[in-house]
Structure 1
Amino acid sequence: MKYSINIPNFGFQNPQEIAKLAREAEDSGWDGFFIWDHVALMEDFNTSFLDPWVALSAIAIETKRIKIGTMITPIPRRRPWKLARETTSLDHLSNGRLILGVGLGTPEYDFTTFGEDFNVKTRAKKLDEGLEILQGLWSGKPFSYEGDFFQIKEVRFSPTPFNDTIPIWVAGTWPYKKPFHRAALYDGVFPISVNWPKSLTPDDLRQIIDIIQQKRTHSKHFDVVIAGNTPGDRMKGDLIVKPYKDAGATWWCENINLLRFSNSLSQLLERIRQGPPKST
């Protein structure tokens, strides 16, 4: 079981602020540090936002060991070829520590404010096309693409990712099943409840894993990521995490967000420094 911090990309004015939190996480024994990818969250939400890729670049420079990435990047509002360049560059900057979390994207305001289509079928199709394009461009081979939403004339991207590819974790909302059919094709799954911020149960997680196992066509390592809240007491935290670990989770993602800490820097630091929820 590995343990990470999951933190919004808003409430900060300078990427150095979030990079210092990531360094504290690394020093405190966490295994990963993941940030959200939003442009605008809701109407009249007048707070500062960081670009996730600039922030992750600062994090990559500030840290040496922990995995880093987005949780999650909504490919339907991204240009996949630009995302391919960003991810490969960041993967080299971090010496191969990048994990790319992807999904359909929410909330609606984050799309329609900028004229983006929020239709679920459109977002699903764009996500699937975008993932195919990412893998094609990451390959370093001549690649062209003709999709419903994205078209690419033959092109070859260099460099390839640091370790030839970048792990992809696919988010999905439970109890919908299609997102987990998609996740089975990639390297990991990040499920959330349709009633978020209510947490999934260990039984929910078992059902999700069963669906994925039925659809998997490869035998490579597959991560199962569960998000939640634990207290700073490691032994008490371990009691919360253990049922999910027993159900098949491989990563615990500690939520550090507005619902919990109001983005108070001192509170964020305190929880991070308390370390991951595992017994010593």
Structure 2
Amino acid sequence: MSVRFGLAIENFTSAEKAPDLQHLVEYSKRAEELGYTSLWAWDHLFLGSKQPFPQLEALTTLAVLAANTSTVTLGTGILVLPIRDPALLAKTAATIQDFSHGRLCLGVAAGWYEREFDATGTQFKGRGQIFERTLEICKQLWTEDEVTGDWDDLSFRRVRMLPKPQPRPGLLIGGYVD
């Protein structure tokens, strides 16, 4: 068994400074040169009120890193799944997976920061069920020839998402929720 090492990237910083995308690109290139096997972006839309934490959006950041690296796995640690639109998330992830030649790994969870749920019109108390729904829709869009079904207020009628990600993005499920 071999040991692999990954790094969290600094797309999420303290209030005293802002994330620097050019620095992240150079950091990621160097990490790859040194033999690190994965880079992980944090996900929140916003965090903190009295002391906010500047943060670059995780999937967009990983898309930029995909263009500037060639071997490292690019992951989210973790993506707050319930506040994401499932069709848009599936398409975005499939595009990054294609562009990165299969290097995307989505770490996903139900989330905990209630203010993000309020701001996106997502029920905080139902986040576990919304998590499961979003994951199911993404997986179907990534793997099925055609998707038809109703999930809460979402309706899919003979939807075909192309191109399909090859392979489907890796998934890690984390977090805690009732």
1:93 partnered with 2:99:
yes
Q: Which residue of structure 1 lines up, in the alignment, with residue 130 of structure 2?
A: 126
Q: In the aligned structure 2, how far is the partner of 1:8 from the partner of 1:148?
A: 36
After superposition, residues 172-211 of structure 1 pair within 5 angstroms as 172-173=175-176
Cα distance, 1:172–1:83 mapped onto 2, change above 3 Å: same
Determine the C-alpha separation between the residues in 2 that align with 1:168 and 1:47.
Answer: 26
Q: Deviations over 1:197-239 (max 9, x none)?
A: xxxxxxxxxxxxxxxxxxxxxxxxxxxxxxxxxxxxxxxxxxx
In the alignment, the residues of structure 2 paired with residue 8 and residue 133 of structure 1 have an alpha-carbon distance, to the nearest angstrom, of 30
- What amino acid sits opposite 1:160 in the alignment? K
Paired with 1:7 and 1:109, the residues of 2 have a C-alpha distance of: 24
1:123 partner letter: R
Q: Which of 134, 143, 146 is the equivalent residue of 1:142?
A: 146
Q: TM-score, normalised by structure 1?
A: 0.57
Pick aligned residue for 1:161 from 162, 165, 178: 165
Asked whether the equivalents of residues 6 and 38 of structure 2 are also in contact (C-alpha less than 8 Å), the reply is yes
Contact 2:9 2:24 survives alignment (8 Å): no
Candidates 171, 176, 180, aligned match of 2:174: 171
Structure 2 unmatched ranges of 5 or more: none
1:257 corresponds in structure 2 to none
CA pair 31-106 structure 1, distance change in 2 beyond 3 A: same
Aligned residues: 172
Counterpart of 1:167 in structure 2: which amino acid? G
Deviation at 1:67, TM superposition (A): 0.4
Describe the shift of the 1:76–1:128 C-alpha distance in structure 2 as closer, same or farther (beyond 3 A): same
CA contact (8 A) 2:38 2:73 kept: yes
Match of 1:109 in 2: 115
Q: Cα offset for 1:111?
A: 2.2
Q: 1:133·1:145 contact (CA, 8 Å) conserved in 2?
A: no
SS in 1 for 2:5: strand
The 2-side partners of 1:91 and 1:17 are apart by: 23
| Contact preservation (8 Å) 1:8, 1:35 | yes
Q: 1:2: which partner in 2?
A: 4
| CA deviation after TM superposition for structure 1 residue 6, in Å | 2.2
Q: 1:243-258, aligned counterparts within 5 Å?
A: none
The DSSP-based 3-state class of the residue aligned with 1:29 is coil
Q: Structure 1 residues 153 and 93 mapped into 2: Cα distance closer, same or farther (>3 Å)?
A: same
Cα deviation for residue 8 of structure 1 reads 5.0
Q: Name the CA distance, whole Å, in 2 between partners of 1:154 and 1:92.
A: 23
> Which of the residues 31, 34, 52 maps onto 2:40?
34
Matching residue's letter, 2:114? E
Query: Partner letter of residue 11 of structure 2?
Result: N
Contact 2:83 / 2:120 at 8 angstroms: preserved in 1? Answer: no
Distance in 2 between residues matched to 1:19 and 1:162, nearest whole Å? 25
Mapped partners of 2:61, 2:22: distance in 1: 8
Q: Structure 1 vs Structure 2: percent identity of aligned residues?
A: 27
Q: Which residue of 2 aligns with 1:208?
A: none
User: Over residues 36-89 of structure 1, what are the superposed CA-to-partner deviations in whole Å (9 max), with x where a residue is unaligned?
Assistant: 111111113344321212211111111111100211111110001000110011
Contact conserved, 1:143 with 1:155, CA < 8 A, in 2?
Answer: yes
Q: CA RMSD in A?
A: 1.9
Separation in structure 1 between the aligned mates of residue 8 and residue 153 of structure 2, nearest angstrom: 31
